[in-house]
Amino acid sequence: MAESPVDVLLKGSSGRSARGLLRIIILVTIAAAAVSSRLFSVIRFESIIHEFDPWFNFRATKYLVQNGFYDFWDWFDDRTWHPLGRVTGGTLYPGLMVTSGVIYHVLRFLTLPVDIRNICVLLAPGFSGLTAFAMYLLTNEMSSSPSAGLLAAAFMGITPGYISRSVAGSYDNEAIAIFLLVFTFFLWIKAVKNGSIMWGALAALFYGYMVSAWGGYVFITNLIPLHVFVLLCMGRYSSRLYISYTTWYALGTLASMQIPFVGFLPIRNSDHMSALGVFGLLQLVAFAEFVRSFIPGKQFQRLLTASIILTTGLAFAGLVVLSMSGVIAPWSGRFYSLWDTGYAKIHIPIIASVSEHQPTAWPSFFFDLNFLIWLFPAGVYICFRDLKDEHVFVIIYAVLASYFAGVMVRLMLTLTPIVCVAAALVLSYILDTYLKTSPGPVTRGRSNDESSEGLRSARSPEVGITSYFSKAVTTSAAIVYLLLFVAHCTWVTSNAYSSPSVVLASRMPDGSQFIIDDYREAYYWLRQNTPANSKIMSWWDYGYQIGGMADRPTLVDNNTWNNTHIATVGKAMSSREEVSYPILRQHDVDYVLVVFGGLLGYSGDDINKFLWMVRIAEGIWPDQVKERDFFTPRGEYRVDDQATPTMRNSLMYKMSYHNFNKLFPMGQATDRVRGAKLPAEGPQLSTLEEAFTSENWIIRIYKVKDLDNLGRDHSNAVAFDRGNKRKKASKKKGPRVLRSE
């Protein structure tokens, strides 16, 4: 090969720095691509917090920023779960809010007046750039190929599986947690490789951060011990392993216990027991190794067998006793549903009612990961070819995450990083094989330095593929796949994951965007025109949004910590007015909010969610609320004139369809979601009155009437008023009517 200026740049020490610079530029570009592909929603709509949970996080962040850290830590929120309230400071993962708060204060210190909302909206895209970088570091530990890390970073940056939870505005714990997950794994691998206390401590530090940020930290808590356990079983005990694990476990557990919500769980909850068990096991193994160096083999075998039997027996007995006595908490319901997908549906309807807790459909693997999903097994296979400690980690991670992703839609998120690693390993292997013209036999040696030196001195004969045709075919195929991947990711991100779901968009006949903004219309109405302490009752889905946008106390919200309270709301919604009204009065409810999509054909409305309310209420009051009563004798769920009397008398039905038929010509009222023609006579409400209905009727707010002035019950009062509509004016005039009564 002729010496050219480019070669000067690519070889030797200047070549190394040139490659380093190039690598940095590529990484920065990847991060930029990761950030910008998440900005679709900001460009299409606006800088707005999305969906449900982010609204709570946003509200909590605002509280943190306004009241300081200690007030946030001790925050008792009396504006949710009325009248119970919520110990918010002790029942949340503060990592996300604290991160935004720190960013906010740093910017304030630099006197940059950035709105806290914009920080929250852009936090997830910002951290996705960091995730891409962490992914680069992690993958580089797995492969000696220089391209693997960059490919993995690029995959991680734009793969929809991760974008689905990290678009701008999706201000949820996952926004920073995935970065922390990947980075903690990187630090762990680094620690295991080097047997370094520093890396172990850093891993513990980031593990602590992860614990503060997301409940999914349990995944790390179990994966790292499993990795260690498998290594032990493979007979790969080493002092490196001992140093890194003990450092990580001791410091990491202490760090995790600093979070009030976690507290003593690491030593009391079954979810965390494997980490503790492996910690003990590792001590035993270390002790055994220590003893082995002093005792001859045969005696050692006997000693080992005896001690293993003894300790296993003791540990098991201890576990059983502690579990029975209740010191160690049993597995949580969400955890059980990981093993038995039907568990939640039977025992905890509230978990099953959340769409993201449903099992994953097969197409969504391809939808979220595209061609990575079929590179993934190959990547795992590659790890077997070269089975070092870190490759064992990839394999374990891959197996576990695949299972979890199959069980719950949202756990696709934990699968995505390892798929990116595995796919990058394969693709870089393919590219290296086909692109490198003179790879020596030591390509996959310990480090790059040695191999290049060895190359130059030895001048080994060329090994590998030299045919330009096969090179061209393979690389162009790979490039086509990569391009398709980019196109797919962009398409998915833009079409599936970039809707704020608070604001709905549709198209006008001329193609321009038409925004349906009913949620904010109604929430802002509440915020501006009701007393600051009005209690709003709605189904729990909207609790966080009401708290965030309308700033009014709610009865239940997306935190779902009190199933009975939610069931109470479900009962009020699904019962007759005579039953519901006392419930409303007892809970100081001023306004009731329902979501109704019948006019617009918006299918995510309360009538469609109604059966879950019924089911959850039935779980607590099986004799008062019965799901069967809402189905017709033929088992249909109907809202038209065939609807069951229970259905038609339920508060939810009445609130949804109140006055709806007046919008249509006589007898023409049609529900566009359920495609049903409604009865000509609309439902009559007597204990509530319509207070506000948004432009497209998506949100309907009802005011709970006060007790009747004359002590009548409301249905009588309404009947009286209706029967004497003409007299209403004279009644207003003065006390004469009262006297005649």
Partner 1 sequence: MRSFTTVVTAFCGLVLSSSSIVSAKPTSESNLLPADFKPPQVFKNVNLVRSTNLEKSYARETINVVVENVDKQPQSEYYLSFPSDVFERVGGLEVRNKKHAEKGRLDVEAAEVDAASDFQYFIVHLPEPLAPSSQLTLGISYSLLNSLQPRPAAIEQSDRQFLTYSFSAYVPSAYQTVSQKTKVKFPSANIPDYTTTDLKTGADPERQGTTYTYGPYDTVKVAPGTSYAITVRYEFTKPVITASLLERDLEVSHWGGNLATEERYWLRNNGSKLLTQFSRVDYTVANYQQSPSTAIKELKYPLKPGSVDPYFIDDIGNVSTSRYRPGLKNREANLEFKPRYPVFGGWNYSFRLGWNNDLSSFLRRAVSSDDSYILKVPFLEGPKMGEGIQYEKVVLRVVLPEGARNVRYETVEGSSSNGLPSASQIQASLSTHKTFMDTLGRTALTLTVESLTDEARDSQLVVRTPTFSRHGLQQSLTWEQVTYDYSFWDGMRKPITITIGLFSVFAAAWAITNIDVSIKKR
CB of 198 vs partner 1, minimal distance in Å? 10
CB of 140 vs partner 1, minimal distance in Å? 21
Site membership for partner 1, residue 721 (CB under 8 A): no
Q: Tell me the residue type at 279.
A: F
**Rounded to whole angstroms, how far apart are CA atoms 121 and 368?**
22
* Contact (Cβ atoms closer than 8 angstroms) between residue 493 and residue 160: yes
* Residues numbered 562-621 forming contacts with partner 1, rule: CB under 8 A: none
* Residues numbered 514-553 forming contacts with partner 1, rule: CB under 8 A: 515, 517, 520-525, 527-529, 548-549
**How many CB atoms within 10 Å of residue 320?**
11
* Contact (Cβ atoms closer than 8 angstroms) between residue 405 and residue 411: yes
Of 69 and 524, CB closest to partner 1: 524
Q: Which stretch binds partner 1 (CB under 8 A): 107-115, 261-269, 431-439, 447-455?
A: 107-115
The 416-435 site mask, x for binding partner 1 (CB under 8 A), equals --------------------
**Rounded to whole angstroms, how far apart are CA atoms 260 and 70?**
13
Site membership for partner 1, residue 343 (CB under 8 A): no
Of 111 and 467, CB closest to partner 1: 111
Q: Hunting for tokens 């501006």 — which residue is that?
A: 528
- Given candidates 111, 293, 355, 506, which one binds partner 1 under the rule CB under 8 A? 111
Q: Hunting for tokens 């005039």 — which residue is that?
A: 733
What is the length of the chain? 741
Q: Which stretch binds partner 1 (CB under 8 A): 106-114, 300-308, 634-642, 667-675?
A: 106-114
**Rounded to whole angstroms, how far apart are CA atoms 668 and 566?**
35
**Rounded to whole angstroms, how far apart are CA atoms 242 and 227?**
12
Token pair recorded at residue 203:
């891993």
Q: Tell me the residue type at 588.
A: D
Q: Which stretch binds partner 1 (CB under 8 A): 211-219, 321-329, 555-563, 659-667?
A: 659-667
Q: Hunting for tokens 């720095």 — which residue is that?
A: 17
Q: In what order do the strands lie in the sheet with 589-595?
A: 535-537, 589-595, 699-704, 688-693
Of 47 and 270, CB closest to partner 1: 47
- Given candidates 693, 704, 714, 718, which one binds partner 1 under the rule CB under 8 A? 693
3-state SS, residue 588? coil
Site membership for partner 1, residue 691 (CB under 8 A): yes
C-alpha 173, offset from chain centre: 7
C-alpha 731, offset from chain centre: 57
Q: How far is CA 26 from CA 22, 69, 145, 531, in A?
A: 6, 38, 16, 55
CB of 666 vs partner 1, minimal distance in Å? 14
* Contact (Cβ atoms closer than 8 angstroms) between residue 256 and residue 207: yes
Site membership for partner 1, residue 499 (CB under 8 A): no
Site membership for partner 1, residue 709 (CB under 8 A): no
Site membership for partner 1, residue 662 (CB under 8 A): yes
Of 269 and 545, CB closest to partner 1: 545
Of 1 and 729, CB closest to partner 1: 729
- Region of 12 on the Ramachandran plot (φ > 0 left; ψ -120 to 50 alpha; else beta): left
Q: Which stretch binds partner 1 (CB under 8 A): 43-51, 59-67, 373-381, 554-562?
A: 43-51
- Given candidates 1, 2, 112, 666, which one binds partner 1 under the rule CB under 8 A? 112
* Residues numbered 246-275 forming contacts with partner 1, rule: CB under 8 A: none
CB of 47 vs partner 1, minimal distance in Å? 8
CB of 659 vs partner 1, minimal distance in Å? 5
Token pair recorded at residue 123:
């936090």
CB of 45 vs partner 1, minimal distance in Å? 8
Size of the site for partner 1 (CB under 8 A): 34
Site membership for partner 1, residue 680 (CB under 8 A): no
Of 265 and 589, CB closest to partner 1: 589
Q: Which residues contact 414 (CB under 8 A, 6 or more apart)?
A: 181, 216, 219, 401, 404, 405
**Rounded to whole angstroms, how far apart are CA atoms 298 and 307?**
14
DSSP 428: H
The 182-211 site mask, x for binding partner 1 (CB under 8 A), equals ------------------------------
Site membership for partner 1, residue 503 (CB under 8 A): yes
Give the interface with partner 1 as residue ranges (CB under 8 A).
45-48, 110-113, 503, 515, 517, 520-525, 527-529, 548-549, 659, 662-663, 689-695, 697, 703
